[in-house]
């Protein structure tokens, strides 16, 4: 029965061709069943083996087995190919694309502005001083010639700390010169308290700036926040004048906001300076906001009473001081119209600086 032997090769070729083009794993299983399953075409060939004459069986058997091995190898190979294809990403991937970057942190806009201000003052010989945010009444008010009945000391607009309220605990600063009896702790309302700390700890001359956080009982709105930042300046030497003050402020503001900056001094009142002024500021940005001038700082010549309190002789020493809000400058500089944005820590805001 030569017919059977002649059938093996063409059947095998047909099966190999079909296995190679199976489109997916399910299709491959179907093709496998159609050829090698219990009722498959190749299985049928093997079943016919029994009908062959005895002397033809061994040769036919060998041929069929060899073909079967070949088919199974082809099946395994196609299965591998298809499994690999399903494991690969559906979309083509460009492995030469740059990797994903980790988001890098950066300095808060208020920190950046503060550093710029500090840099300008350093150029003209000012050093940075520091003081506590939880301050006592002596440094925050009394020594600054601010009497106990002054509204700035009112519990309504100042945060007093309950632990020490009305207490008789010693002053944390402890310089001990002329501290009053009341030593309640409060969150400092201005950085002016550090003027006293510095003058109490060193003899004149003094040339310092104090960047720092301050607190007020203000409800938050577009221009107010219960906490904000100030920079205090204090210059004490012999023969210091308002002209020095004006020149210094003008220099720093021109550095910060550009050479078209103009400043003007308006008479004002602060208990720790005499005379006192408010500084108004203008430049193209202010005009753009539809304003002529923007109030930016308080300042004046250090009051002789303050010098007396810290033990500096007011007949010998003269000086000026100022304090301004950092948020206000940052808002002007970057065109920010709501102070609360600085405190919300929204990355969409922060990453713009
Ligand atoms: N401490 C004042 C405030 O918070 C600002 C100020 C005014 C500071 C006059 C000074 C000064 O040093 O001399 O509004």
What digits encode the pLDDT tens for the residues 249-280?
999 999 999 999 999 999 999 999 999 999 99
Mutate to test the pocket of ligand 1, among 192, 231, 310, 328 (most ligand atoms within 8 A of CB): 192
Of the candidates 237, 216, 211, the one whose C-alpha atom is nearest the C-alpha of residue 323 is 211
Q: Among residues 281, 239, 240, 234, which one has the least CA distance to residue 261? A: 281
Residue nearest to atom 10 of ligand 1 (CA): 322
238: left (phi over 0), alpha (psi -120 to 50) or beta: beta
Rounded CA separation 264/29 (Å): 90
Is the dihedral angle over the CA atoms 81, 86, 89, 92 positive or is it negative? positive
CB 325 less than 6 A from any atom of ligand 1 = no
Give the pLDDT score at 2: 55
Confidence of residue 215 (pLDDT cuts 50, 70, 90): very high
Average pLDDT (158-181) is 54
Q: What is the pLDDT of residue 154?
A: 81
Question: How crowded is residue 24: how many other Cβ atoms within 10 Å of its Cβ?
Answer: 11
**167, pLDDT greater than 80:** no
Is pLDDT above 70 for 168?
Answer: no
pTM of the model: 0.70
Give backbone dihedrals phi and psi of 39, rounded to 5 degrees, phi first: -110, 15
216/121 Cα distance (integer angstroms): 26
Range in 162-176, 232-246, 330-344 with the lowest mean pLDDT: 162-176
301 pLDDT above the threshold of 80: yes
Query: Tokens standing for 340?
Result: 């609360």
| SS3 letters across 231-300 | EEEEEEECCCCHHHHHHHHHHHHHHHHCCCCEEEEEEEEECCEEEEEEEEEECHHHHHCCCCCEEEEEEE
User: Would you say the CB of residue 192 lies under 6 angstroms from ligand 1?
Assistant: yes
């Amino acid at each position: 029965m030569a017919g059977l032997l002649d059938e093996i090769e063409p059947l095998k070729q047909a099966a190999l061709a079909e296995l190679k083009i199976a489109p997916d794993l399910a299709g491959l299983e179907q093709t496998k069943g159609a050829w090698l399953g219990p009722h498959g075409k190749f299985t049928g060939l093997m079943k016919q083996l029994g009908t062959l004459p005895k002397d033809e069986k061994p040769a036919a058997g060998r041929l069929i087995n060899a073909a079967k091995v070949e088919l199974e190898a082809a099946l395994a190979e196609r299965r591998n190919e298809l499994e690999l294809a399903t494991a690969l990403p559906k979309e083509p991937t460009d492995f030469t694309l740059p990797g994903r970057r980790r988001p890098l942190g950066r300095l808060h806009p208020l920190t950046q502005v503060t550093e710029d201000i500090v840099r300008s003052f350093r150029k003209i010989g000012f050093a940075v001083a520091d003081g506590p945010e939880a301050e006592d009444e002596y440094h925050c008010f009394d020594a600054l010639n601010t009497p106990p009945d002054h509204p700035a000391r009112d519990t309504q607009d100042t945060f007093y700390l309950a632990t020490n309220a009305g207490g008789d605990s010693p002053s944390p600063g402890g310089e001990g010169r002329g501290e009053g009896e009341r030593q309640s702790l409060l969150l400092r309302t201005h950085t002016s308290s550090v003027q006293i700390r510095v003058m109490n700890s060193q003899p004149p001359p003094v040339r310092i700036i104090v960047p720092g956080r301050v607190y007020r009982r203000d409800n938050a709105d577009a221009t107010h926040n219960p906490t904000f930042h100030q920079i205090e300046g204090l210059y004490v030497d012999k023969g210091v004048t308002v002209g020095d003050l004006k020149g210094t402020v003008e220099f720093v503001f021109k550095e910060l906001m550009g050479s078209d900056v103009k400043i003007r001094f308006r008479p004002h009142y602060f208990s720790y300076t005499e005379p006192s002024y408010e500084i108004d500021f203008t430049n193209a940005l202010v005009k753009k906001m539809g304003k002529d001038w923007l109030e930016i700082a308080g300042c004046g010549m250090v009051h002789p009473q303050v010098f007396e309190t810290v033990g500096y002789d007011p007949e010998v020493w003269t000086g000026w001081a100022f304090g301004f809000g950092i948020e206000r400058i940052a808002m002007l500089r970057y065109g920010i119209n709501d102070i609360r944005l600085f405190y919300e820590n929204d990355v969409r805001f922060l990453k713009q600086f």
